Amino acid sequence: MSLCLIILTLAALHPAPGTATHACAHRGDLANAPENTLPAIRSAVEKGAPQIEFDVQVTRDGHLVIMHDSTVDRTTSGAGRVAELTFEEIRALDAGSWFSPEFAGVQVPTLREVLEVIPETILCNVHLKGGVEVATESARLIRDMGRLHHCFLACNRAQAEAAKAVAPEIMICNMDRQGGNRTAYVDDTIARGAEFIQLHWGQGTAGLKEDVARLHAAGVRVNWFGAQEEGLIRTLAEAGVDYILTNDLDLCLRVLKEVGGNATE
Ligand code: G3P
Ligand code: MG
């Protein structure tokens, strides 16, 4: 690959903060497929989501699986805590029928399987659940698969430190939310040198544009969780948020296309 092509590829993967507002598919395209499964991830990829979020946990026997809740009860045919079930037990479950008969037989995926279906041009918001083991093992896998350039770990400080011990260059989204105070959260994220912050809808939009500008000046990219309403999506684009986590990917992509995906220029 020529130097020019490498530079262009890296620029596409890591647009400068503040140049556009993009959609992030929360747990994949969860409105149209069972959350955190390969059909939900594939659908988000096919629709062109620039970032995809999914949740990672460790099974009793040390496998990295994709699931939001600490138990399998809501999103599979089984029952019990992920941390107390083996990988074989979790793989035997139906993770699709609860959503629709069309998805009967869909299995709980592994982190490796999810990364294998997401192209390297899409950012992966790897949301860690549990303790430090999931951080260490996720960082190891992402490093070994050569995917550090488009994956970041959404995690707390202890998990970030554990991950960096394995892969020092791994990108971090600071998820220690400072008790809901946005100013403290912004200050802390900049001080930590995290690559991403994930502002929460509960923190409101008052003064958002100023906080986003401050984060961009420090080189921090800004995620927002979450937005399913057209008015809020437009407000976030006007404030210069980089990525909007949404449960309604179709709506978010349409609205951002209408505002040009570039409301901050
Ligand atoms: O900011 C929270 C966002 O990452 C979504 O979290 O795990 O409730 O889907 P979760
Ligand atoms: Mg999550």
The least confident of 52-61, 179-188, 244-253 is 179-188
Confidence band, pLDDT 50/70/90 cuts, at residue 13: low
Q: Which element (helix H / strand E) includes 114?
A: helix 111-117
pTM here?
Answer: 0.93
Model confidence pLDDT, tens digit, residues 26-68: 999 999 999 999 999 999 999 999 999 999 999 999 999 999 9
Catalytic residue among 22, 63, 68, 150: 68
Q: Could you give the CA distance from residue 33 to residue 27 in angstroms, rounded to a whole number?
A: 10
**Nearest partner of 223 among 53, 67, 57, judged by Cα:** 53
How many angstroms separate the alpha carbon of residue 69 from the centre of ligand 2?
Answer: 9
Active site residue 63: no
Ligand 1: which residues within 6 Å by Cβ? 27, 53, 55, 68, 127, 154, 198, 200, 225, 245
Q: Could you give the CA distance from residue 41 to residue 18 in angstroms, rounded to a whole number?
A: 26
- Alpha-carbon torsion angle 82, 83, 87, 89, nearest 10: -60
Q: What is the pLDDT of the chain when averaged over all its residues?
A: 93
How many angstroms separate the alpha carbon of residue 127 from the centre of ligand 2?
Answer: 5
Model confidence pLDDT, tens digit, residues 148-182: 999 999 999 999 999 999 999 999 999 998 677 89
Q: Could you give the CA distance from residue 4 to residue 61 in angstroms, rounded to a whole number?
A: 45
Model confidence pLDDT, tens digit, residues 188-198: 999 999 999 99
CA angle 7, 8, 10 (to 5 degrees): 65
Task: Please give the C-alpha separations between residue 100 and each of 76, 97, 189, 221, 248, in angstroms, as whole numbers.
Answer: 12, 5, 40, 36, 17
Q: Could you give the CA distance from residue 67 to residue 28 in angstroms, rounded to a whole number?
A: 11
Q: What is the pLDDT of residue 260?
A: 81
| pLDDT surpassing 50 at residue 5 | no
The least confident of 4-18, 47-61, 227-241 is 4-18
Confidence band, pLDDT 50/70/90 cuts, at residue 250: very high
The least confident of 5-19, 24-38, 96-110, 218-232 is 5-19
Name residue 60's amino acid. R
- Using DSSP, state whether 26 is helix, strand or coil: strand
User: 């105070």: which residue's tokens?
Assistant: 181
175 within 8 A of 193, measured Cβ to Cβ: no
Q: Could you give the CA distance from residue 14 to residue 130 in angstroms, rounded to a whole number?
A: 28
